C-alpha cells in the first residue's frame, strides 16, 4: 500500500504539539512493516535553511482558492526512509509561527486543494490519504466534490484522524463561496449549527474517521467531550475508530538518551536519582528526598490546570516539589510564576519552549501530573513512563487507555475519575504514600518502564484498517 499523510506539522520540520510527533513517527512504523509512506506539510518559514538545502524542487503549479489562482511550489526530501513533500507559497506560509493568523481558513483551503492537485505531479501514487486535524479536513471534502471521478483519482480513499476535537476550523458562511469554492448545492457537507465547519466536512466525507485512543472515540459521542460534534459523530459511528498513539521509542530511551544527566535501564534504575539531583540543582531547588512532580504541558483549560491551582499549595506544604515547563494562557503562567516566587526552593517554572529541559524533567522527576479535562491520547504520560516517572492522570481518553492505577494489580501509575481537585489530590497522596515505601515504589517504576509504548501494535491496526478500506 502507498499511504500519504497530510498534516500541518511533522517532526523534525515543524512542530507545535503532539500531532507533529505522530506524523514524525507513525509513517516510519508503517513503512517498517513493508508499506510505502509519504508525508506532505506546508513549507513554513520555521523550516531551517539546512533542511531546505536537502530539498529538491519538483515543479510549480497553480492552485484554485475559489476564484483566485495561487502559486504552489512542490518540494521533496527523504528522511529516515520516508518521502516528505512540501507545499510552498510564501504569502501563506513564510510567516513567524504556524497558525493563529486572521486568514488561517484561506491558508488551509489552499493547502488542502494543493495536496490533491500535487498528486498529478509527483511520483508517489497514494492508495490512501490519511488527513489529520482541521487544517487538512477539506481534503476529503474536495475529494468528494471535485476529484473522485477524475482519472487517476478514482481508486483513492481518504481517512481522517481527529487529534483534538476542540479545534474545528469553524467560520462564517461567507467562506464557502469566497474562499472554499464549494458550490451551494454541496454546502450541506460543511454546514453545522449555522457555521461552516471544516471538521464536520471531513466527518461527513472521509471513508474512515480515526481518533487517537479507543476511550476518546467513545467520549466523542458524549456532548461533554465533543464540543458540539457529537450529533454528527453519532450518525457516523460505523466509520469511527479509536487507535492509540505510540511514541518514538528510539528517541525516548533512558538507556541511550544523550540529553539526560545519566543513562539507566529498568534492570538498574540507579542513574535515575542522578538525573533527579541534576535537575533539582539546575532548577535551583533543594536537593533532598521529597518527591518531585513534573509537569510538561500547554497551559490551557482542558489540560486541567484549574485543578492544580485549587490544591497547589496543599501539595507543596505536604512535602512535594514541582518542576513545571509550559506556556499558554497568561492567567496560568502568572499563577505558576507567583508560586515559584512564594516557594523558591520547592517550585520551579519555565515558560520558554525547551525540549531539552522537557527531556530532563521526564527523566529527573518522580511523578508526572496530567489531570486533563479531556485528553485525546496524550504522549507525555507515555514518555514519562519510558523514563520511569510515574504518571498521575485523570481517567480520560488516552490517559485512561495507557495508565492503570497502582491500587489494583500491576498498576503503572495513579488515576482518578471525576474532574475534581480533591480526587486529584487523593491520587497524589496515594502516590506519595507508595513513594515512601521504597521497594514498592521501585517495582512500580520498573513496571511503568517496561510497558510497550512503541508504535508497533498500533501501526498494525492502522494497516489493517487501511487494507479494509481498500477492499471495499
Compare residues 68 and 301 and give the one whose CB is closer to ligand GLC.
301
Determine, following the binding rule CB under 6 A, whether residue 304 of this chain makes contact with ligand GLC: no
* Residue of the chain from 15, 18, 140, 389 that contacts ligand GLC (CB under 6 A): 18
Compare residues 76 and 208 and give the one whose CB is closer to ligand GLC.
208
8 Å CB contact between 206 and 131 = yes
Minimum distance from residue 375 beta carbon to ligand GLC (Å): 5
8 Å CB contact between 240 and 217 = yes
- Which residue reads 457516523 in cell numbers? 236
Task: Tell me the residue ranges of DSSP E strands in 106-237.
Answer: 128-132, 157-162, 170-171, 191-192, 195-197, 208-211
Compare residues 181 and 376 and give the one whose CB is closer to ligand GLC.
376
Measured CA to CA in angstroms, residue 288 lies from 57, 336, 357 at distances of 56, 22, 20
Determine, following the binding rule CB under 6 A, whether residue 17 of this chain makes contact with ligand GLC: yes
* Residue of the chain from 8, 130, 215, 245 that contacts ligand GLC (CB under 6 A): 245
Measured CA to CA in angstroms, residue 280 lies from 51, 263, 352, 366, 391 at distances of 35, 17, 18, 12, 19
Site stretch for ligand GLC (CB under 6 A), options 11-19, 151-159, 230-238, 273-281: 11-19
Compare residues 291 and 397 and give the one whose CB is closer to ligand GLC.
397
Measured CA to CA in angstroms, residue 470 lies from 119, 351, 379, 464, 467 at distances of 18, 46, 30, 10, 5
Q: What's the CA gap between 345 and 352, in Å, rounded?
A: 20
Q: What's the CA gap between 198 and 213, in Å, rounded?
A: 22
Question: Under rule CB under 6 A, which residues in 48-87 are in contact with ligand GLC?
Answer: none
- Bridge partners of 405, per DSSP, are 413
User: How many residues bind to ligand GLC according to rule CB under 6 A?
Assistant: 14
Compare residues 20 and 72 and give the one whose CB is closer to ligand GLC.
20
Determine, following the binding rule CB under 6 A, whether residue 14 of this chain makes contact with ligand GLC: no
Determine, following the binding rule CB under 6 A, whether residue 22 of this chain makes contact with ligand GLC: yes
Stretch 139-178: interaction string toward ligand GLC, x if CB under 6 A: ------------------------xx--------------
Computed from CA positions of residues 413, 417, 420, 422, in that sequence, does the dihedral angle turn out positive or negative?
negative
H helices of 212-269, in order, are: 214-219, 223-226, 230-235
Compare residues 19 and 320 and give the one whose CB is closer to ligand GLC.
19
Minimum distance from residue 230 beta carbon to ligand GLC (Å): 18
Question: Under rule CB under 6 A, which residues in 356-415 are in contact with ligand GLC?
Answer: 375-379, 398
- Sequence-distant (≥ 6) Cβ neighbours of residue 83 within 8 angstroms: 37, 38, 39, 76, 77, 124
* Residue of the chain from 72, 116, 141, 212 that contacts ligand GLC (CB under 6 A): 212
Binding site for ligand GLC (CB under 6 A): 17-19, 22, 163-164, 212, 245, 375-379, 398
Amino acid at each position: 500500500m502507498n499511504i500519504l499523510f497530510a498534516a500541518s506539522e511533522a517532526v523534525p520540520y515543524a512542530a507545535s504539539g503532539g500531532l507533529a510527533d505522530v506524523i514524525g513517527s507513525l509513517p516510519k512504523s508503517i513503512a517498517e512493516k513493508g508499506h510505502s509512506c509519504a508525508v506532505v506539510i506546508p513549507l513554513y518559514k520555521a523550516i531551517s535553511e539546512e533542511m531546505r538545502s536537502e530539498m529538491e524542487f519538483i515543479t510549480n503549479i497553480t492552485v484554485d482558492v475559489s476564484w483566485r489562482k495561487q502559486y504552489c511550489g512542490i518540494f521533496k526530501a527523504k528522511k529516515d526512509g520516508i518521502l516528505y513533500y512540501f507545499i510552498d507559497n510564501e504569502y501563506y506560509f513564510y510567516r513567524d509561527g504556524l497558525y493563529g493568523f486572521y486568514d488561517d481558513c484561506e491558508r488551509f483551503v489552499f493547502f488542502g486543494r494543493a495536496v490533491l492537485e500535487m498528486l498529478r505531479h509527483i511520483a508517489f501514487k497514494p492508495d490512501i490519504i490519511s488527513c489529520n486535524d482541521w487544517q487538512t479536513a477539506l481534503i476529503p471534502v474536495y475529494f468528494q466534490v471535485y476529484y473522485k471521478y477524475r482519472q487517476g483519482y478514482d481508486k483513492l480513499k481518504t481517512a481522517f484522524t481527529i487529534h483534538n476535537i476542540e479545534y474545528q476550523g469553524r467560520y462564517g458562511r461567507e467562506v464557502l463561496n469566497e474562499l472554499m469554492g464549494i458550490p451551494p448545492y454541496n454546502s450541506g457537507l460543511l454546514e453545522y449549527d449555522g457555521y461552516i465547519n471544516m471538521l464536520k466536512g471531513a466527518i461527513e466525507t472521509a471513508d474512515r474517521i480515526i481518533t487517537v485512543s479507543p476511550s476518546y472515540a467513545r467520549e466523542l459521542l458524549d456532548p461533554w467531550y465533543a464540543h458540539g460534534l457529537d450529533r454528527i459523530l453519532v450518525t457516523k459511528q460505523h466509520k469511527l475508530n479509536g487507535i492509540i498513539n505510540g511514541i518514538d521509542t528510539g528517541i525516548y530511551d533512558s538507556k541511550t538518551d544523550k540529553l539526560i544527566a545519566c543513562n539507566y535501564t529498568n534492570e538498574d534504575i540507579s542513574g535515575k536519582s542522578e538525573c533527579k539531583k541534576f535537575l533539582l540543582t539546575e532548577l535551583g531547588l533543594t536537593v533532598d528526598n521529597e518527591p518531585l512532580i513534573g509537569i510538561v504541558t500547554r497551559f490551557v483549560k482542558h489540560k486541567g490546570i484549574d485543578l492544580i491551582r485549587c490544591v497547589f499549595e496543599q501539595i507543596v506544604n505536604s512535602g512535594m516539589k514541582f518542576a513545571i515547563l509550559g506556556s499558554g494562557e497568561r492567567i496560568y503562567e502568572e499563577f505558576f510564576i507567583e508560586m515559584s516566587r512564594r516557594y523558591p526552593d520547592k517550585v520551579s517554572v519555565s515558560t520558554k519552549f525547551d525540549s531539552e529541559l522537557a527531556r530532563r524533567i521526564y527523566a529527573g522527576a518522580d511523578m508526572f501530573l496530567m489531570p486533563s479535562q479531556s485528553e485525546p491520547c496524550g504522549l507525555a504520560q507515555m514518555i514519562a513512563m519510558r523514563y520511569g516517572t510515574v504518571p498521575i492522570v485523570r481517567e480520560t481518553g488516552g490517559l485512561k487507555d495507557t495508565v492503570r492505577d497502582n491500587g489494583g494489580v500491576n498498576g503503572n501509575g495513579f488515576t482518578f475519575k471525576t474532574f475534581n481537585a480533591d480526587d486529584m489530590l487523593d491520587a497524589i497522596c496515594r502516590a506519595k504514600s507508595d513513594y515512601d515505601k521504597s521497594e514498592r515504589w521501585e517495582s512500580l517504576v520498573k513496571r511503568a518502564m517496561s510497558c510497550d509504548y512503541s508504535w508497533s501494535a498500533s501501526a498494525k491496526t492502522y494497516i489493517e484498517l487501511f487494507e479494509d478500506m481498500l477492499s471495499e
